[in-house]
């Protein structure tokens, strides 16, 4: 069980009794009755479960079906029920969807509304990109895009502001120190949330059977689709050093925890072709969660990122306990999903 706290539609939520691999979608629908967030595919493909998650990096659209609850620690979640104002005033994207006939059966509509509201908050106008992860079977996209364009001229409503200082700050148990509970092992069913690479390295050496979770866009499906139990999990989202992109001479070090969306943003000018390729990576919601390290460590040489990275001569960096190791990315992949990674070793980044 895992303790955590986050804001849900502006209200603090504190939980102490949740399995670490419970999804936000299940929690919203089954515990909170927030059934506006729909379950379509339950694997990150349709966007019916889109919510807005805000942290120090700002708001972004994510799929609630492939988000484990501990990933929300200290963040603010807004569901479709929190998009209209407290007095019922519609958000500009909601009004525009009505005005432009953007909804027919309505099943996809909450997901579209949350994606559009997140983009509206960010001042985005690339509606085709933003909405490519939301599938609509009956309305057709033209009225929806027209609605998104029409809403763009309206200011973002004041009630959508969730600045980081409003986020709950609580002391959260990580299940123990760097190596788990003093002198012992991490109890099954608990989550470890390291904040430094050193803490993760020490803990993972002691718990090499654990599952490391970054964005959960793939591991989430092990739970929701394969119904696998993941008794021991470490969530890497709290390790700031893994999320850095650092110039090193004429090379660039990309931390394993850098999301595909952040990588696209960082490389738009310096690597326009690679950045353009990244816009073909899944969808906005998935790119906002998935990390380059997860794509490499959990994938194969024919994954989304590795072919281009190998072509650029990427070096991969691993950590095992106190040891570090670097190798050419192409030498990391031995066979399909078979990698040159020792037990207890994890990917810390890649250099291009």
**CA separation, residue 190 to residues 35, 63, 136, 233 (Å):** 27, 23, 38, 7
Please report how close the Cβ of residue 148 comes to ligand FES at its closest, in angstroms: 14
Determine the interface stretch with ligand FES among 3-11, 44-52, 89-97, 119-127 (rule: CB under 6 A): 44-52
26 binds ligand FES (CB under 6 A): no
Q: Which of 61, 65, 69, 236 forms a contact with ligand FES (CB under 6 A)?
A: 65
| Residue 227 φ/ψ, nearest 5 degrees | 55, 40
Residue with tokens 């960010």: 122
Determine the interface stretch with ligand FES among 14-22, 42-50, 229-237, 333-341 (rule: CB under 6 A): 42-50
Look at strands 2-8 and 76-78 and give their pairing: parallel
Determine the interface stretch with ligand FES among 28-36, 38-46, 323-331, 343-351 (rule: CB under 6 A): 38-46
**CA separation, residue 286 to residues 28, 130, 151, 283 (Å):** 19, 11, 24, 5
Helices (H), 136-213: 141-151, 197-206
Determine the interface stretch with ligand FES among 53-61, 136-144, 145-153, 241-249 (rule: CB under 6 A): 136-144
Q: Which of 52, 108, 263, 292 forms a contact with ligand FES (CB under 6 A)?
A: 108
- Measured over the CA atoms of residue 323, residue 191, residue 50 and residue 135, the dihedral's sign is positive
* DSSP 8-state code for residue 314: P
- Measured over the CA atoms of residue 205, residue 210, residue 211 and residue 213, the dihedral's sign is negative
Q: Which of 2, 103, 121, 162 forms a contact with ligand FES (CB under 6 A)?
A: 103
> CA–CA separation, 256 vs 243, rounded Å?
7
140 binds ligand FES (CB under 6 A): no
Cβ-based nearer residue to ligand FES, 141 or 159: 141
Cβ-based nearer residue to ligand FES, 41 or 245: 41
186 binds ligand FES (CB under 6 A): no
Q: Which residues bind ligand FES (CB under 6 A)?
A: 39-42, 44-49, 63, 65, 103-109, 136-139
């Amino acid at each position: 069980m895992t303790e955590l706290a986050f804001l849900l539609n502006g209200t603090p939520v504190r939980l102490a009794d949740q399995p670490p691999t419970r999804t936000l979608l299940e929690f919203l629908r089954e515990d909170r009755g927030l059934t506006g967030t729909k379950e379509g595919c339950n694997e990150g493909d349709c966007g019916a479960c889109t919510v807005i998650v805000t942290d120090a990096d700002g708001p972004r659209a994510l799929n609630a079906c492939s988000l484990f609850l501990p990933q929300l620690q200290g963040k603010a979640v807004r569901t479709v029920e929190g998009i209209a104002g407290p007095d019922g005033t519609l958000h500009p994207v909601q009004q525009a969807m009505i005005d432009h006939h953007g909804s027919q059966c309505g099943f996809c509509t909450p997901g579209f509304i949350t994606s559009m509201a997140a983009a509206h908050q960010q001042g985005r106008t690339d509606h085709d990109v933003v909405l490519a992860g939301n599938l609509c079977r009956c309305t057709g996209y033209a009225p929806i895009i027209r609605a998104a364009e029409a809403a763009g001229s309206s200011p973002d409503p004041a009630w959508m502001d969730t600045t980081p200082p409003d986020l709950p700050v609580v002391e959260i148990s990580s299940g123990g120190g760097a190596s788990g509970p003093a002198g012992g092992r991490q109890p099954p069913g608990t989550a470890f949330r390291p904040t430094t690479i050193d803490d993760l390295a020490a803990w993972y050496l002691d718990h090499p059977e654990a599952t490391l979770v970054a964005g959960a866009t793939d591991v989430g499906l092990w739970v929701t689709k394969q119904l696998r139990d993941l008794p021991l999990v470490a969530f890497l989202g709290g390790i700031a050093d893994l999320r850095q992109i650092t110039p090193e001479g004429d090379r660039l070090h990309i931390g394993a925890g850098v999301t595909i969306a952040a990588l696209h943003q960082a490389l738009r000018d310096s690597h326009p072709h690679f950045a353009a390729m990244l816009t073909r990576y899944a969808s906005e919601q998935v790119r906002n969660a998935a990390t380059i390290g997860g794509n490499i460590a959990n994938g194969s040489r024919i994954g989304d990122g590795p072919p281009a990275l190998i072509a650029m001569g990427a070096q991969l960096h691993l950590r095992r306990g106190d040891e570090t190791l670097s190798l050419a990315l192409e030498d990391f992949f031995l066979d399909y999903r078979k990698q040159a990674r020792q037990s207890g070793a994890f990917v810390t980044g890649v250099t291009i």
